[in-house]
Amino acid sequence: MNDQAIIVKDLVKKFGSFVANDHLNFEVSPGEIFGFLGANGAGKTTAIRILSGLSKPTSGTVIVAGFDVYRHTEQIKKNIGYMCQKFSLYEDLTVKENIVLYGGIYGMSRNLIRERLGNLLEKLRFREYENRIIGDLPLGLRQKLAFSVAVLHEPKIVFLDEPTGGVDPITRRQFWEMIYETAERGITVFVTTHYMDEAEYCDRISIMNDGKIVALDTPGNLKRQYDAESVEDVFIKIARPG
């Protein structure tokens, strides 16, 4: 019995004659922070859409949170959280209304929603914002709240697609502390970013190029393997042709 959070074997996804994902192979453990890197157009978004049950592979095996993406997409959706770079909360609802709405969508009981709402407002020191409209909040606060909402139902895996784009350097670091804390609770974090220093915060990273995974290891091992000072150097050596 393989109890990995994500299992991907020979995943292929084609759009017509274009191969967006070309035989991807990787596994992600429970509680691991997995960085999914690659140049624009390398095929990351295609893969994330498949892993989150929004799109079916052309061929290959994909098991997410123990469920098969061909047959059990509804189960997968209940067991994952998702947050993307574009804001995912409703701007004209208040903080509280957003949390109650998402709790309802996740099928949580009223009592559980009330309890998590309280914890969340306490933890983020968000009490004073409870009844504020999301659109009026600074970006950094919104992103932290969006992340908290993405894990409101304690999913097995949370997918974060460029969660810190455009965020100031202090908030960016606070955001990563929330990621660390989430991973310590056993939730798997699957994250994409264009900030190469953030890639160093991951337990392991993969780097995609032209639909293929061309490197996959811990940041430390990759730096040794490519004789590079930083993950950015590794990335440039791999992704810059010639």
Partner 1 sequence: MMSIIESSEIFKSFGKTKALNDISFSVDESEIFGFIGPDGAGKTTLFRIITTLLLPDEGCMKVFGKDSVKDYREIRKNIGYMPGRFSLYQDLTVEENLNFYATVFGTTVRENYDLISDIYSHIEPFRKRLAGQLSGGMKQKLALSCALIHKPGLLVLDEPTTGVDAVSRSEFWEMLSKLRRHKITILVSTPYMDEAMRCDKVALIQEGRILAIDTPARIRDGFTRKLFTVKSSSKYKLLNVLRKFPDTLTAYPFGDSVHVTFVNDKINDTFNSFLEKEGINDAVTGESEAGIEDRFLELMERDDK
Q: Which two tokens stand for residue 67?
A: 């469920």
- Residues near partner 1 (CB under 8 A), total: 38
Least distance (Å) from partner 1 to the CB of residue 105?
Answer: 27
SS3 string, 110-125, reads HHHHHHHHHHHHHHCC
Tell me which residues in 37-66 interact with partner 1 (CB under 8 A): 38-41
Q: How far apart are CA 89 and CA 146, in angstroms?
A: 6
Least distance (Å) from partner 1 to the CB of residue 160?
Answer: 15
Which range of residues in 7-15, 20-28, 67-75, 192-200 is near partner 1 by CB under 8 A?
192-200
Q: Which of 173, 144, 171 is nearest to 160 (CA)?
A: 144
- Is 102 one of the binding residues for partner 1 (CB under 8 A)? no
- Is 184 one of the binding residues for partner 1 (CB under 8 A)? yes
Strand, coil or helix: 84: strand
Backbone φ, ψ for residue 69 (5° rounding): -70, -15
Least distance (Å) from partner 1 to the CB of residue 237?
Answer: 10
Neighbours of 156 (CB within 10 A): 20
Structural element, H or E, at residue 188: strand 188-192
Least distance (Å) from partner 1 to the CB of residue 139?
Answer: 5
- Is 19 one of the binding residues for partner 1 (CB under 8 A)? no
Nearer to partner 1, 70 or 180 (CB): 180
* Contact (CB, 8 A) for 5 and 14: no
**Exposed e or buried b per residue across 64-97, where buried means at least 16 C-beta atoms within 10 angstroms of its C-beta:** bbbbebeebbeebbbbbbbbbbeebbeeeebbbb
44: Cα separation from own chain's centroid: 11
Nearer to partner 1, 114 or 194 (CB): 194
- Is 165 one of the binding residues for partner 1 (CB under 8 A)? yes
- Is 176 one of the binding residues for partner 1 (CB under 8 A)? yes
**Given 107, 170, 227, 242, the residue binding partner 1 (CB under 8 A):** 170
- Is 92 one of the binding residues for partner 1 (CB under 8 A)? no
Largest CA distance in the chain: 58
Least distance (Å) from partner 1 to the CB of residue 208?
Answer: 10
* Contact (CB, 8 A) for 234 and 215: yes
Binding site for partner 1 (CB under 8 A): 38-41, 85, 138-140, 162, 165-171, 173, 176-177, 180-181, 183-184, 194-197, 200-201, 219-220, 230-232, 235-236, 239-240
